[in-house]
Chains A and B, each alone.
Chain A
Amino acid sequence: MISGLLLLALRAAPFPSPHSPFPAQDTTKGKAVYVKWCAGCHGDGGAGDGPAAAYMLPRPRNFTGGLYKIRTTASGQLPTDADLARAIDDGLPGSAMPGWRGRLSNAERRNVMAYIKTFSSFFADTSQHVVPLKFSSAPSGGTSANAVKVGREFYDSIGCRKCHGDQGRGDGASAPTLKDDADFPIFAADLHQNWRFRGGGSVEDIYRRLRTGLDGTPMPSFADLIDQKFLTDEELWRLAQYVRSLSPPAPPEVRDVVHAPQIPGTVPVSPDDSAWARVTRYWFPLVGQVIHQSRWFAPAVSGVWVQAVHDGKTLALRVSWDDRTESPDTAWLKFEQRILETVAGDDSAPPLKAEPWPDELAIQFPRRLPEGSGEMERPYFLMGAATDPVYQWRWTSRPRRALAGLGRGIERFDTLAGAPAGEAIYEHGEWRLVLTRALATPDTANEVQLEAGRAIPMAFFAWDGSSGEHGSRMAVSTWYFLALDRATPPGVFISPVVAMLVTLGLGLVVVRRAQRRGAARSGV
């Protein structure tokens, strides 16, 4: 709490002096902390080459170069202590770096920060004055249509779209060519997921990244454009506000149950049907498949948005997710190859070769609804098991089709005759897919019978072919639930009324009795 306030104070009013605002830093103690907690990823020598490093994309920071992405200093400069402290304390969202506040003591975090600086000779050079930039504060009206429109104009004019794409999902034309200074492949950020921005997702954070750039990556600083009078500081703010507007107002909250309202008429089968605008979206995070052999540590799809409706006969599920490519896409083959070479998988697996895999999405249900209302027993969440299969819908981008089948473990999928109807649209880095199926089907043994008013277990899997994802290399989710809402039966209103009448009656009897007694007592 206190350190948080302190930090807040520091960020609001940065010290203009090169002297550290954090006194009493002990690099010897810092080394002990580093060796114990940091070296596993960042390596004993700070070169970002710990045992875990090969399994990560983005890679852990290499401290020896003194090069940092998230700073408040000008491009090319060293970060301030406050910048380092922020990364250590709060972590870097969207990467494997956790926040260490609450995990290590304040002194430990300051000491380890001092130790990290010893890896690079640049920090030792005290002639270099690390000065944070002076940032203006955001102009008002940031969410107005006009501000966003101005921001969008500069988004186009200063070339953001080249990498980040037309709608900002990191699908720009240059995206497949990107690499960082260490030659690792790097993705242009998906601007629709600001909760995964390393330096924070607020308008201020975005503005600062635009001013300082992300050193070591293709993301430049746009400070010089202001100097060149290409755009004003306020217009840079507008750009930041535009970028911010692409993401939801708050990070999505994960809820367990997707509620599918019952709608009159028939369900919308097209992904862009206007009916979908009125249906609640649910976000489900996906993580790498690191459970079964041939693991995958760098999932490209970080989550899916899910909507569902039904009309009493048919269920329509709309799944949309961000994907930089409409795979297979040969333009990305080289990039894909670089990813496969960069991210380690199982040590025993043969080296992978990039191939034009399609994009895929799977939705999984148990074959039969679990009995009972208590703790529901479900098949193994990772595509079932040989003896206890799951019922799955699998959609692929090429051939563009949806299948239904039984998953018997990750390696086996037995296709069933009936398939859900699937309609998908790819647009500017986003897939929108609608799958529809009748609630009841003839094959009751294998196909889940969707009943209203029950919690139906449901799980998701996604593959981005152009990121090398295929087979067991995918993004997975745990079990969530689908609930088909139904009109409230009249009985629901009767029993409360009965209960209320009984209560009222009893209450009146109690009052009457008490009063009679009271009268008797006062009578005496």
Chain B
Amino acid sequence: MTDSALLLLQAAADSTHAYGEFPVIGARAFVWITAEVHLMFAAFVLGVPMFAVVTEAIGIFGGDERYDRLSKEFTRLLLVAYSATAIWGAMLVFGLSTLYPRFWAYLTTIFAPSMWLYAALFFIESFTLYLYYYGWDRWKKGRAKLGHWTLGILLNVWGTIVMFIANAWLTYMMSPPRDITPTTDPTTIKLWHAIANATWMPINVHRVIANVVFGGAIVGAYASYRFLAARTDEERAHYDWMGYVGNFIAMSALIVLPFAGYWLGREIYQYDQSMGITMMGGFMSWLWVIQAFLIAVLFLTGNYYLWIGMGRIPGAERFRPYTKYLLIVLVLGAIVWGTPHTMIADSKELAAMGGSHHPFLGALGVMSAKNTAVNLMILTTFLSFLLYRRANTRPVVPWARTGTIIQGAMFAVAAGVVLFYGIRGYFVEAIVRIGFSVYQVLAVLSCIVFVTLIDILMTRGAQSLGAIRWGKMPPRSQYALFILAVTFTWLMGLMGFARSGIRQYWHVWQVMQDTSKYAATPALGYASKMISLCVLIFLSLVAFVFWLGGLAEKSTFVAGEGEQGARHVGH
């Protein structure tokens, strides 16, 4: 750029203080909380529209009006959630520009045009949302309905672009292009060059999927609350069903999330080996033990919900005896998945083990075992879904038996591939072993895809074994949905800490150093308290949003209740 701009920038940098201070909690905690809560709301307002559009489509093309109502019910919640997102986003920008002025100036120098675009898109997005919600009843039939649905899609497109732009800023902080050094004049950095950095796309993909998971989980929690608070059987049936749909979407997306995580982690390694090692083996290594624990909770709770749910499906009795074997696989998987490689032990135990690696169980602490465990857990969860889906139906196609056998064979092959490479991983060198995880993942993914395809074809026009008794769920299943939602949210906070923390004392990795008193990335204990606090703030606000939504809705729900309840059973 021009010399004058350069001089101006220099003058600005020299005259501003690098850091501000926030009373009581400190600058970092303020930015942490605002960023985290903003991000959670952002995930919510990105995840829920996806949910809404999908359910509306099911309503339109499947002809089931329940889905349309569900879709609208959630769009209403979005209205308030949007303002919450905007408020927290404004607080974050305010915090960054006053507490980290020099860093913020640096970012704006590079990203200013994209920030304007961001703001503009946010306007358009809000506008689309209003149109979408308030036009619901007007454009209800025929072509107009399709047009309305297109609005929903547009809403998602804007939202996704907005997220991609914001992701560019934070991935630039994490992985600025290699040719940018501390002495690079920020005005000379090309915008697109900065945006298209190494981790931008992996983060984009990871976040899109995670938002679906998150939206589904929050919807599930909402439904479970309404279920527990329901006064009539009809209401209960409706929210039982909604909780199921929410959980279904969350769990399906969760199954593919680890693969996006693999990609992101790999890009980080590729970008900077030492950053990768800091992430997996350095001061953050214990973080993954917590992550493992949370993921184990997710798998166990998600499956638990499905298995209880089988109680309300006529025909599920056929499969119920098998759930205990699935449970055994899951528990063993959770045990392997959670086995630490470096164990916490006292000196006597250490002496007996000959180090902090257990001579026998240590084998479960390495990558081969973990990959195998998690892949098997994913397969098992998928099988749970399949059984659940199949429970109510008896296929009528002539090749049903063959199809089932093929499906079974596919599971066996996938599990076999996972186990084979898992065990073989112990006998090959590290670099080959890393490649094995690809085969395991491919086996699981292709099993999921093909089995689902076969299943869809096979259950066409299948005979129902009786009406699903929606609403006939014990309360503990609903509490499980709550645990899922809290765990997802907490996990999101934890992964946010991991992603942000691996930069350590850099605002922009190896370009701009954090010289504030908060330069040291805190230990996990402190981080967990912050995460819990953020989750609490977020959930309280979400509860408030839901309560507002409930205020407006009460009168309308009762009216349609009678006929709706009757139709629920037909699913």
Question: Is B347 in the interface zone, CB < 8 Å from A?
Answer: yes
Whether B351 sits at the interface, judged by CB under 8 Å, is: yes
Interface residues of A in 237-274 (CB under 8 A from B): 254-256
Majority-rule SS of B interface residues: helix
- Contact partners of B346 in chain A: CB under 8 A: 256
Q: Tell me, rounded to whole Å, the shortest Cβ–Cβ distance linking A159 to chain B.
A: 39
Chain A: CB-nearest residue to B347: A256
Name A21-51 residues within 8 Å CB distance of B: none
Closest beta carbon of chain A to B340's beta carbon, Å: 15
The interface on chain A, measured as residues whose beta carbon lies within 8 A of the other chain's beta carbons, has a size of 3
- CB closest residue in chain B, given A480: B347
- Bound CA–CA A495/B347 (angstroms): 30
How far does the alpha carbon of A466 sit from the alpha carbon of B347 in the complex, in Å?
33
Which of B346, B347, B348, B351 is most buried by chain A, counting CB atoms within 10 A of its CB?
B347
| Docked CA distance A254–B347 (Å) | 9
List the A side residues contacting B351 at CB < 8 Å: 254
Task: Report A457 CB to chain B, min CB distance, Å.
Answer: 13
- Report how far A255 CA is from B351 CA in the complex, Å: 11
The residues of A that contact B348 with a CB separation of less than 8 Å are 255
The answer for the CA separation of A496 and B346 in the assembled complex, in Å, is: 26
Q: Chain A's interface: helix, strand, loop or mixed, by majority?
A: loop
- B159 to A: closest C-beta gap in Å: 43
The CA-CA distance from A254 to B351 in the complex, in Å, is: 10
Residues in B with CB closer than 8 Å to A256 are 346-347
- The interface residues of chain B lying within 8 Å CB-to-CB of A254 are 347, 351
Q: A427 to nearest B CB, angstroms?
A: 32
Chain B: CB-nearest residue to A481: B347
333-355 of chain B: CB within 8 A of chain A = 346-348, 351
CA distance A254 to B346 in the complex (A): 12
CA distance A256 to B347 in the complex (A): 7
State the CA gap A256–B351 with chains docked (Å).
Answer: 11
CA distance A256 to B349 in the complex (A): 12
| Interface residue ranges of B448-481 to A (CB < 8 Å) | none
Which of chain B's residues have a CB closer than 8 A to the CB of A255? 347-348
Shortest C-beta distance, B37 to chain A (Å), equals: 30
**Chain A residue with the shortest CB-CB distance to B525:** A374
- Cβ of A478 to closest chain B Cβ, rounded Å: 10
How far apart are the CA atoms of A254 and B348 in the complex, in Å?
8
Q: Who on chain B is nearest to A478 by CB?
A: B347
Say how far B526's CB is from chain A's closest CB, in angstroms.
13
Which A residues touch B347, using CB under 8 A?
A: 254-256
Interface string of B345-370 (1 = CB under 8 A from A): 01110010000000000000000000
In the bound complex, CA of A254 to CA of B349 (Å) = 12
Residues 394-435 of B at the A interface (beta carbon under 8 Å): none
Q: What CA separation (Å) do A396 and B348 show in the bound complex?
A: 33
CA A188 – CA B347 in complex, angstroms?
33
Which residue from chain A places its CB closest to the CB of B351 in the assembled complex?
A: A254
A255 CA to B346 CA, complexed, in Å:
10
Closest-by-CB residue of A relative to B523 is: A374
Which residues from 302 to 350 on chain B have a C-beta closer than 8 Å to any C-beta of chain A?
346-348
Cα A255 to Cα B348 in complex, Å, equals 8
Interface residues of B in 251-273 (CB under 8 A from A): none
How far, in Å, is A243 (CB) from chain B's closest CB?
Answer: 28
Give A253's nearest chain B residue, CB to CB: B348
Closest beta carbon of chain A to B546's beta carbon, Å = 32
Nearest CB on A from B243, distance (A) = 28
Cβ-closest chain A residue relative to B359: A102
A256 to B346, CA, bound (A): 9
- In angstroms, how far is the closest chain B Cβ from the Cβ of A114? 29
Contact with A along B276-297 (1 / 0, CB 8 A): 0000000000000000000000
CA distance A255 to B347 in the complex (A): 8
Give the distance in Å from the alpha carbon of A433 to the alpha carbon of B312 in the complex.
Answer: 78
Closest-by-CB residue of A relative to B346 is A256
Q: How many angstroms from the CA of A244 to the CA of B201 in the assembled complex?
A: 73
Smallest CB gap from A257: residue in B: B347
Q: How far is the CB of B511 from chain A (nearest CB, A)?
A: 30
Minimum C-beta distance from B482 to chain A (A):
23
A495 to B248 CA separation, bound complex (whole angstroms): 47
Give B350's nearest chain A residue, CB to CB: A256
Q: Complex formed: what's the CA distance from A255 to B349 in Å?
A: 11
Q: How far is the CB of A245 from chain B (nearest CB, A)?
A: 27
Least CB distance from A483 to B in Å reads: 14
The distance in angstroms between the C-alpha atoms of A100 and B347, with both chains bound, is 24
- The CA of A371 and the CA of B348, in the complex, are separated in Å by 24
Q: How far is the CB of A91 from chain B (nearest CB, A)?
A: 15
Task: Report the bound CA distance from A328 to B348 in whole Å.
Answer: 38
Closest to A102 in B: B359
- The smallest C-beta distance from B132 to any residue of chain A, in angstroms, reads 50
* Distance from B520 Cβ to chain A, minimum over Cβ atoms (Å): 14
Complex CA–CA separation, A482 to B347 (angstroms): 15
| Distance to closest chain A CB from B196 (angstroms) | 42
CA A158 to CA B347, docked complex, whole Å: 44
B354 to chain A, nearest CB (A): 11
CB distance from A361 to the nearest CB of B (A): 23
A114 to B348, CA, bound (A): 37
Give A135 to B348 CA distance when docked, in angstroms.
37
CB distance from A450 to the nearest CB of B (A): 22
Query: What is the distance, in angstroms, from B527's C-beta to the closest C-beta of chain A?
Result: 15
A145 to B118, CA, bound (A): 93
A283 CB to closest chain B CB (Å) equals 13
A438 to B132 Cα, complex, angstroms: 80
A–B Cβ pairs within 8 angstroms, 6 of them: A254-B347, A254-B351, A255-B347, A255-B348, A256-B346, A256-B347
Instruction: State the A residues within 8 Å of B (CB).
Output: 254-256
3 closest residue pairs by CB, A with B: A256-B347, A254-B351, A256-B346
